[in-house]
């Protein structure tokens, strides 16, 4: 029995060695196939490596677009602020001019109001001096009144107050107020014959019209 088993085992051992050689050949083939596949995969990966760079470029594109849009947004904001500053400066300039004009107007109104109150005093000085006889004009009191009158008229002249010319001038309703009418062949038509109350102007504005008598 032992000899038969040995005989049967011997072919199995030989078969095993053949199987081993076949297995080694198969493993060698598999190794070559695997290495070929790895080379193929390596080539594929190397070929695919280039396309992998495209997403980076694509990612850079949106980044540049974002920066460009951000820059444009800031430029628009700067232009908006500059426009706002220009409008505010223009408004301030208009406000300054308007304030100066109002201030000047208020000054003129105040000056006219004071001058209107002084003019009756001037009228009284003129009436008083006109009623003084020639032989009394050398009197110290009369001389003092005349000096005060001249000083008052000098101050009014410096302020821009001037008398309106009337007698012998053509009647002008803008400057004269006719209270009487007379026929006089020696005078021309529509000519001021007499002045009852002197008129005055403050700069270019009439403070008081001349009260006159008009001929013809």
For residues 23 and 132, what is the distance between their CA atoms, to the nearest angstrom? Answer: 160
> What does the pLDDT average to over 70-82?
85
133-166 pLDDT, tens digit each: 988 888 899 989 999 999 999 999 998 999 999 9
The string of DSSP letters for 132-150 reads S-GGGTTSHHHHHHHHHHH
Fold of the CATH domain 163-216: Nucleotide Exchange Factor Grpe; Chain A, domain 2 (2.30.22)
> Which pLDDT score, from 0 to 100, does residue 171 have?
92
29-56 pLDDT, tens digit each: 566 555 555 544 444 444 444 445 555 5
- The angle at the Cα of 188, spanning 187 to 191, to the nearest 5 degrees, equals 85
For residues 71 and 63, what is the distance between their CA atoms, to the nearest angstrom? Answer: 12
Q: Where are the domains of the chain?
A: 92-159, 163-216
Is the overall model pTM greater than 0.75, yes or no?
no
> Which pLDDT score, from 0 to 100, does residue 216 have?
76
Q: Which residues pair with 210 in a beta bridge?
A: 176
Dump strand ranges (E) for the chain: 161-163, 176-182, 191-197, 200-202, 205-208, 210-215
């Amino acid at each position: 029995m032992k000899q038969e088993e040995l005989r049967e085992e011997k072919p199995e051992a030989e078969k095993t060695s053949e199987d081993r050689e076949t297995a080694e050949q198969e493993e060698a083939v598999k190794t070559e196939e695997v290495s070929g596949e790895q080379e193929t995969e390596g080539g594929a990966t190397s070929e695919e490596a280039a396309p992998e760079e495209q997403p980076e470029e694509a990612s850079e594109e949106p980044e540049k677009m974002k920066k460009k849009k951000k820059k444009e947004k800031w430029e628009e904001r700067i232009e908006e602020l500059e426009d706002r500053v220009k409008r505010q400066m223009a408004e301030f300039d208009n406000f300054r001019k308007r304030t100066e004009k109002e201030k000047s107007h208020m000054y003129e109104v105040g000056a006219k109001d004071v001058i209107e109150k002084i003019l009756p005093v001037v009228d009284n000085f003129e009436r008083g001096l006109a009623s003084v006889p020639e032989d009394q004009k050398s009197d110290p009191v009369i001389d003092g009144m005349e000096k005060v009158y001249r000083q008052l008229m000098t101050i009014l002249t410096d302020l821009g107050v001037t008398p309106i010319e009337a007698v012998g001038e053509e009647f002008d309703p803008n400057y004269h107020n006719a209270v009487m009418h007379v026929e006089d062949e020696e005078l021309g038509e529509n000519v001021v014959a007499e002045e009852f109350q002197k008129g005055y102007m403050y700069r270019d504005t009439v403070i008081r019209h001349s009260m006159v008598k008009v001929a013809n």
